[in-house]
């Protein structure tokens, strides 16, 4: 075991999968000699050459569209969108094409493509470098959506995503890249898509989260623990497939649910989980389902005070936990 | 031809950009400006030469490298600096930051950090002029990198078939982050692409403000008289790394020091200064005094920005819709 950062874990997963399977290739802006703006592909061009680590012009629509075509022809493309805010030109290819390829061809076509996208805020990226885009893909049947929060999960899930025969949107919270470090086994391992992870077992209430906010939830749980609030913290890890059983089992045990995410509150992942629990665990509930999420504004504003106002941070989560525990 | 006042104003605006950007570097190093900040140093003549060919009521859109454009269009450096510090008094009340100096008071319809997306907006502004029966033109600034986005090609074709009063102004500083345009653009020059849309394309020395001014003046005349768009390519160079803040994770080796040095030899401010002196338009002493004046102006802008308050957290909700609806 060695302690690694999220970005190191991502890079290791890419390297191992490229060694394992010659059909895997990376394409994107500045991914070659520079190794990507976050250095996810640093050193890979030296090992795999320019044919498998391909620098592209600025052309997101074509990056994903070309990857899709290559996937149809038996390659396993791993395109990178430089920041999630720039994914919009490629949404036609992702939502309009990739998501319905298998369905529309009655399974004749498979799309073994994983689109890696650094996303999320809290880094003073302002209006154009902070966005949470997961809900759009979560809402789209036909796409798998992965949102790891730790180096261990990032590596194991990315390896599985690359091996998956469906289009996967792999979202890496860019604030976790260097901030979050953790143990990563030296040997080969993968983690299945669609299985949540209980990051903190507890009995008084259930918190469901993912990505950077998961860490804020753990901090908040720690903060309220001395007050006798023993929160169970579930890391979804993948949004699609959604691990409904883990959520329901926990809520049936604790009777209380709080969902926290950075993406906008309305129509977000939290809304879906609230509906799920209201539908299938209603009689177990002991309090209202609470959400601590990004407000309904287009994306994170730049000013420190406004960014702080946006982010569901440990303080806001702890306040909501106390309110919920009091029921 | 430009008179003494205009030529001096050109110098003033280039100096303003240079000193503004030098102040920004200092503030980034001190941690007072956080996040991405894309320096315009080295490219001043492109925006200033172009904007001096515009009327005050003409429209403009820009991109992530956004400090030079509003200053070149005659914008206020105090509110621009305050925006970079995320202050309440900033152009966008602190919501935008470095990449979004959308100063509507001087015809700037937005500087978008999403590349390519402000190009069709300029075409739309030009369509607005046509529909409203006025002769205001629109200029969009974009880089060599953004010229590979689909939005550019769609927009330039539309503007060409509709003969809209728009000037496509490519600031070709030859790199998009680390990618050389020589590897990313199929033609030798970006201006060559104009041929595909049957409009004029001109390649201009982007270090020479007067050359830029002349090319854009012609493009504007063409646009105002209903003859349609022009693609102008200003060949230039950025002296600093792609971004001063975000993204500056390693120093890049994608371009060599010799290349940078060669471009520095053709500094746009030096070129214009030499011209003013040679043509007896200004003396070195007058130009030094002008520079001192600009420096003081920028220092004052920094002070103003520093002393300005941060937005109140409740402002995160503000300006969501034209007719406010209750949010929470
Ligand atoms: C749609 C989109 N894709 C990618 C990016 C990330 N990005 C920011 S600046 C940049 C390079 C831009 O190059 P160019 O257009 O030449 O402008 P320059 O920075 O050289 O002024 C890239 C790739 C972005 N902002 N928007
Ligand atoms: Mg460029």
| DSSP states along A111-144 | ---EEEEEE--SSS-GGGS----HHHHHTSTT-E
pLDDT value of position B251: 55
CB within 8 A of B2, min separation 6: which ones?
Answer: B10, B52, B210, B213
Which of the residues A55, A126, A292 would you substitute to probe the B interface, choosing the one with the greatest number of B C-beta atoms within 10 Å? A126
How far is B248 from B118, CA to CA, in rounded Å? Answer: 25
CB within 8 A of B321, min separation 6: which ones?
Answer: none
Q: Does residue B325 fall inside a structural domain?
A: no
Structural contact between residues A180 and A151, judged by C-beta atoms closer than 8 angstroms: yes
Number of domains within chain B? 1
Residues on chain A touching B253 (C-beta within 8 angstroms): 33
How far is A165 from A101, CA to CA, in rounded Å? Answer: 12
Of B149, B178, B316, the CB nearest to A306: B316
The answer to whether the CB of B113 is under 6 A from ligand 1 is: yes
Structural contact between residues A164 and A114, judged by C-beta atoms closer than 8 angstroms: yes
Q: How far is CA B276 from its chain centroid? A: 23
How far is B246 from B101, CA to CA, in rounded Å? Answer: 18
Confidence bin at B292 (pLDDT 50/70/90): very high
Query: For A53, how many CA atoms within 13 A lie in the half-sphere containing its CB?
Result: 23
pLDDT value of position B221: 98
Asked if A303 and B148 come within 8 Å (Cβ–Cβ), the reply is: no
Coil, strand or helix: which one is A292? strand
The answer to whether the CB of B114 is under 6 A from ligand 1 is: yes
Mean pLDDT for all residues in chain B: 94
Which helix (H) or strand (E) segment is A2 a member of?
Answer: strand A2-5
pLDDT value of position A284: 98
Pocket test for ligand 1, best of B36, B61, B99, B176 (most atoms within 8 A of CB): B176
Structural contact between residues A83 and A28, judged by C-beta atoms closer than 8 angstroms: no
B62 and A CB contact within 8 Å = no
Q: Does residue B317 fall inside a structural domain?
A: no
pLDDT digit string, tens, across residues B32-78: 999 889 999 999 999 999 999 999 999 999 999 999 999 999 999 99
Q: Does residue B315 fall inside a structural domain?
A: no
SS3 string, B12-76, reads: HHHHHHHHHHHHHHHHHHCCCCCCCCCCCCCCHHHHHHHHCCCCCCCEEEECCCCCHHHHHCCCC
Average pLDDT over residues B226-232: 98
Place of tokens 């702890």: A318
Phi/psi for A125 (5° steps) reads -80, -15
Q: Across the 327 residues of chain A, what is the mean pLDDT of every consecutive 10-residue run? A: 96 98 98 94 97 98 98 97 97 97 95 98 93 98 98 98 98 98 96 98 98 98 98 98 98 98 97 98 98 95 97 98 97
Q: Does residue B128 fall inside a structural domain?
A: yes
The answer to whether the CB of A313 is under 6 A from ligand 1 is: no
> Chain A: nearest CA to B313, how far in angstroms?
5
Greater confidence, B1 or A174? Answer: A174
The answer to whether the CB of B42 is under 6 A from ligand 1 is: no
Question: Counting atoms of ligand 1 from 1, which one is nearest the CA of A88?
Answer: 1
pLDDT value of position B247: 46
| Ligand 1 centroid distance, CA of B149 (Å) | 10
The answer to whether the CB of A86 is under 6 A from ligand 1 is: yes
Domain boundaries, position B82: 4-305
Q: Does residue B249 fall inside a structural domain?
A: yes
Residues on chain A touching B252 (C-beta within 8 angstroms): 34
Pairing state between β B108-111 and B59-62 = parallel
Residues on chain B touching A126 (C-beta within 8 angstroms): 35-36, 95-100, 113
Does the active-site annotation cover A136? Answer: no
Structural contact between residues B306 and B31, judged by C-beta atoms closer than 8 angstroms: no
CA-to-CA separations, A119 to A82, B34, B264, in angstroms, rounded: 9, 18, 37
Pairing state between β A290-294 and A257-264 = parallel
Q: Does residue B311 fall inside a structural domain?
A: no
| Ligand 1 centroid distance, CA of A232 (Å) | 42
Asked if A301 and B317 come within 8 Å (Cβ–Cβ), the reply is: no
Tell me the β-bridge partners of B60.
B108, B139
Pocket test for ligand 1, best of A59, A60, A63, A82 (most atoms within 8 A of CB): A82
Structural contact between residues A240 and A145, judged by C-beta atoms closer than 8 angstroms: yes
Average pLDDT over residues B226-246: 92
pLDDT value of position B249: 46
| Ligand 2 centroid distance, CA of A63 (Å) | 19
The answer to whether the CB of B144 is under 6 A from ligand 1 is: yes
Q: Does residue B102 fall inside a structural domain?
A: yes
And the tokens for A264? Answer: 């906008």
Of A37, A57, A309, the CB nearest to B247: A37
The burial of B317, by beta-carbon neighbours within 10 Å (0-12 exposed, 13-18 middle, 19 or more buried), is given as middle
pLDDT value of position B253: 73
> Chain A: nearest CA to B95, how far in angstroms?
4
Which CATH number do you get for residue B259?
3.40.50.970
The burial of B182, by beta-carbon neighbours within 10 Å (0-12 exposed, 13-18 middle, 19 or more buried), is given as exposed
Question: Counting atoms of ligand 1 from 1, which one is nearest the CA of B144?
Answer: 16
And the tokens for B218? Answer: 């012609």
Question: Counting atoms of ligand 1 from 1, which one is nearest the CA of B177?
Answer: 11
Q: Classify residue A306 by its DSSP letter.
A: H
Q: How far is CA A183 from its chain centroid? A: 19
Confidence bin at B180 (pLDDT 50/70/90): very high
pLDDT value of position B325: 66
pLDDT digit string, tens, across residues B118-161: 999 999 999 999 999 999 999 999 999 999 999 999 999 999 99
Mind listing the domains of chain A with CATH numbers?
2-184 (3.40.50.970), 197-325 (3.40.50.920)
The answer to whether the CB of B202 is under 6 A from ligand 1 is: no
Q: How far is CA A267 from its chain centroid? A: 17
Q: Does residue B83 fall inside a structural domain?
A: yes
Helix residue spans in chain B (DSSP H): 4-29, 44-51, 68-72, 77-84, 119-132, 150-162, 181-184, 209-224, 257-264, 268-278, 284-307
| Ligand 1 centroid distance, CA of B114 (Å) | 8
Q: How far is CA A120 from its chain centroid? A: 10
How far is A159 from A264, CA to CA, in rounded Å? Answer: 29
Which helix (H) or strand (E) segment is A324 a member of?
Answer: helix A314-325
Closest of B87, B136, B144 to residue B309, by C-alpha? B87
pLDDT digit string, tens, across residues B82-123: 999 999 999 999 999 998 888 888 999 988 999 999 999 999
């Amino acid at each position: 075991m060695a302690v690694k950062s999220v970005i190191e874990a991502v890079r290791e997963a890419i390297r191992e999968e490229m060694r394992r399977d010659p059909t895997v290739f990376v394409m994107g802006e500045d991914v070659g000699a520079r190794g990507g703006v976050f250095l996810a592909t640093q050193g890979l061009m030296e090992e795999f050459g320019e044919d498998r680590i391909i620098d592209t012009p600025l052309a997101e629509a074509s990056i994903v569209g070309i990857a899709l075509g290559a996937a149809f022809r038996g390659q396993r493309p791993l395109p990178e969108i430089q920041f999630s805010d720039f994914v919009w030109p490629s949404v036609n290819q992702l939502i309009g094409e990739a998501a319905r390829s298998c369905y529309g061809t009655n399974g004749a076509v498979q799309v073994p493509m994983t689109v890696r996208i650094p996303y999320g805020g809290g880094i003073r990226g302002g209006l154009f470098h902070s966005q949470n885009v997961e809900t759009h893909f979560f809402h789209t049947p036909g796409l798998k959506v992965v949102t790891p929060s730790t180096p261990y999960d990032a590596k194991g899930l990315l390896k599985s995503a690359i091996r998956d025969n469906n289009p996967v949107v792999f979202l890496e919270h860019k604030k976790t890249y260097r901030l979050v470090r953790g143990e990563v086994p030296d040997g080969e391992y993968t983690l299945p898509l669609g299985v949540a992870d209980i990051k903190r077992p507890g009995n008084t209430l259930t918190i469901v989260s993912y990505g950077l906010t998961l860490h804020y939830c753990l901090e908040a749980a720690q903060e309220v623990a001395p007050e006798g609030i023993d929160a169970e913290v579930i890391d979804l890890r993948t949004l699609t497939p959604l691990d409904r059983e883990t959520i329901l089992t926990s809520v049936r045990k604790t009777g209380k649910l709080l969902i926290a995410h950075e993406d906008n509150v309305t129509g977000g992942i939290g809304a879906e989980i609230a509906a799920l629990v209201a539908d299938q665990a209603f009689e177990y509930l002991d309090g209202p389902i609470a959400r601590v999420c990004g407000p309904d504004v287009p994306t994170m504003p730049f000013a420190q005070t406004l960014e702080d106002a946006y982010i569901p941070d440990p303080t806001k989560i702890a306040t909501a936990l106390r309110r919920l525990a009091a029921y | 031809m430009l008179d003494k006042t205009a030529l001096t104003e050109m110098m003033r605006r280039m100096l303003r950009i240079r000193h503004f950007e030098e102040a920004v570097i200092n503030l980034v190093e001190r941690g007072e400006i956080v996040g991405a900040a894309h320096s315009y140093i080295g490219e001043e003549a492109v925006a200033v030469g172009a904007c001096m060919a515009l009327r005050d009521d003409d429209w403009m859109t820009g991109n992530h490298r956004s400090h030079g454009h509003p200053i070149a269009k005659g914008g206020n450096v105090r509110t621009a600096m305050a925006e970079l510090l995320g202050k309440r008094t900033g152009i966008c009340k602190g919501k935008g930051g470095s990449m979004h100096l959308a100063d509507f008071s001087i015809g700037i319809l937005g500087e978008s950090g999403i590349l390519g997306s402000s190009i069709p907006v300029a075409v739309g502004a030009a369509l607005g002029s046509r529909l409203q029966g006025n002769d205001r033109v629109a200029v969009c600034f974009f880089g060599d990198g953004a010229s590979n986005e689909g939005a550019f090609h769609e927009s330039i074709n539309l503007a060409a078939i509709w003969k809209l009063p728009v000037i496509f102004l490519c600031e070709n500083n030859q790199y998009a982050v680390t990618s050389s345009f020589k590897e990313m653009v199929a033609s030798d020059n970006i201006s060559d692409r104009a041929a595909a849309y049957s409009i004029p394309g001109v390649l201009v020395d982007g270090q020479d403000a007067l050359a830029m001014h002349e090319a854009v003046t012609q493009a504007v005349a063409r646009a105002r008289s209903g003859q349609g768009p022009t693609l102008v390519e200003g060949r230039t160079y950025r002296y600093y790394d792609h971004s001063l803040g975000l993204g500056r994770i390693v120093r890049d080796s994608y371009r060599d020091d010799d290349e940078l040095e060669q471009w520095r030899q053709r500094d746009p401010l030096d070129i214009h200064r030499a011209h003013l002196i040679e043509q007896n338009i200004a003396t070195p002493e007058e130009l030094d005094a002008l520079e001192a004046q600009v420096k003081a102006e920028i220092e004052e802008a920094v002070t103003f920005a520093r002393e300005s308050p941060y937005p109140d957290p409740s402002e995160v909700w503000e300006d969501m819709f034209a007719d406010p609806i209750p949010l929470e």
